[in-house]
């Protein structure tokens, strides 16, 4: 029996950390938004409002766990856990540092993309099962947006895959020892960031839950922890996309030796988390048709071109 209690504990630690980080991100985001919007943000509960998350947790756990009588009970219950599960599972292939990570999968990139596709089910099921018109509009929008951006997201990563010659995320990090992929893959990076925001449907791509338009979109009828799962799922998504950016384009844990690798990883990821919050503070929301148009007519050809050029570059470098 090679598998030990120790590694089980480290797996549990990773999971725990990821969830806590996502929960704390709610506080971080509110404080950062406050900073950028000439206001304070939560500052009453605990020092700097740090315990706000705890207060929110207590509140959300004691809210009524309600299934509307008019909803389709089974899919209504199923939708929120799906988003939690698929995003948490995506973290299993992320290499946080040497020796820190759940599994070294040879199909890491594919696994993450597959999980992202499954995430669309959560949003669609939630919206369709609610039997609410706002939720229906939200899930229709979500379906269109997520399936479209999935295509570009996949292709945008292929440049990195071509350079590294592997789908294994840990090997991708290691192959960046001579230079991060952000330089040769800046186009791929931009496309991935855009697609990543669209996949985690945050502002400016929060079309499926656009508050000003369709109230809360697909989770209009959700309350209590089931709503909380959608909510935390969004923040988990931000952490995931930030981690992926770091792994794929910014050399993962690699960095000068005066800081331990895991610290490098966390630092880099934090920058992107803050970037996503800033994005939310700064940019208005495009319309559904503009978003789709932009994706299909601009991002898709661009990502294809990027892939072809990268392929040619790799072959030319090999001297073939």
Other Cβ atoms within 10 Å of 301 Cβ, number: 11
Per CB under 8 A, the segment of 43-51, 146-154, 253-261, 265-273 that binds other proteins is: 146-154
Query: Residue from 54, 165, 186, 260 that binds other proteins (CB under 8 A)?
Result: 165
Tell whether residue 233 is a contact of other proteins (CB under 8 A).
Answer: no
Q: In the block, which residue shows the tokens 């978003």?
A: 291
Residues 47 to 76 in contact with other proteins, rule: CB under 8 A = 60-66, 68-70
**Residue 44 within binding range of other proteins, rule CB under 8 A:** no
Q: Does 140 bind other proteins (CB under 8 A)?
A: yes
- Closer residue to other proteins (CB): 58 or 186: 58
Residue 190 DSSP SS3: helix
Q: What is the 3-state secondary structure (H, E, C) of 247-284?
A: HHHCCCCCCCCCCCHHHHHHHHHHHHHHHHHHHHHHCC
Residue 49 DSSP code: G
Tell me: does residue 311 bind other proteins (CB under 8 A). yes
Binding part of the chain for other proteins, among 31-39, 171-179, 183-191, 242-250 by CB under 8 A, reads 31-39
Print the binding letters for residues 170-199 with other proteins: x by CB under 8 A, - otherwise: ------------------------------
Cα angle vertex 260, ends 257, 262, to 5°?
130
**CA–CA separation, 141 vs 136, rounded Å?**
9
Contact with other proteins (CB under 8 A) among 26, 28, 88, 254: 88
Q: Which of 167, 189, 250, 276 binds other proteins (CB under 8 A)?
A: 167
What's the closest the beta carbon of residue 312 comes to other proteins, in angstroms? 6
**From 56, 98, 118, 224, residue interacting with other proteins (rule: CB under 8 A):** 224
The phi and psi torsions of 190 (rounded to 5 degrees) equal -60, -45
CA 252 distance to own-chain centroid = 16
Applying the rule CB under 8 A, the residues between 266 and 295 that interact with other proteins are: 280-290, 292-293
Question: Cβ neighbours of residue 132 under 8 Å, at least 6 residues apart?
Answer: 68, 220, 221
What's the rounded Cα separation, in Å, for the pair 317 and 299?
26
234 touches other proteins by CB under 8 A: no
């Amino acid at each position: 029996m090679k598998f030990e209690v120790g590694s089980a504990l480290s797996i549990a630690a990773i999971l725990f950390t990821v969830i806590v980080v996502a929960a704390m991100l709610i506080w971080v985001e509110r404080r950062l938004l406050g900073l950028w919007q000439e206001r304070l943000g939560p500052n009453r509960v605990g020092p700097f409002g740090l315990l706000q998350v705890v207060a929110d947790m207590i509140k959300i756990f004691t809210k009524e766990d309600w299934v509307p009588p008019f909803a389709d009970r089974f899919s209504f219950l199923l939708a929120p856990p799906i988003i939690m599960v698929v995003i948490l599972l995506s973290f299993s292939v992320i290499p946080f540092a040497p020796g820190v990570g759940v599994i070294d999968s040879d199909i890491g990139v594919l696994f993450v993309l597959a999980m992202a596709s499954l995430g669309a089910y959560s949003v669609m099921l939630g919206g369709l099962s609610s039997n609410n018109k706002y939720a229906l509009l939200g899930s229709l929008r979500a379906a269109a947006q997520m399936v479209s951006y999935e295509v570009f997201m996949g292709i945008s990563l292929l440049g990195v895959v071509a350079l590294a010659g592997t789908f294994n995320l840990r090997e991708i990090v290691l192959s960046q020892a001579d230079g991060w992929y952000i330089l040769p893959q800046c186009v791929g990076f931009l496309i991935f960031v855009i697609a990543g925001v669209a996949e985690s449907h945050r502002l400016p791509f929060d079309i499926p839950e656009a508050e000003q338009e369709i109230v809360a979109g697909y989770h209009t009828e959700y309350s209590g922890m089931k709503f909380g799962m959608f909510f935390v799922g969004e923040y988990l998504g931000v952490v995931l996309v930030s981690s992926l950016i770091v792994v794929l384009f910014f050399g993962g844990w690699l960095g000068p030796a005066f800081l331990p690798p895991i610290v490098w990883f966390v630092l880099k990821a934090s920058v992107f988390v803050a970037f996503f919050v800033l994005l939310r503070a700064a940019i208005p929301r495009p319309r559904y048709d503009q978003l789709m148009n932009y994706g299909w007519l601009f991002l898709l050809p661009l990502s294809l071109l990027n892939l072809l050029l990268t392929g040619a570059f790799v072959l030319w470098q090999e001297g073939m």
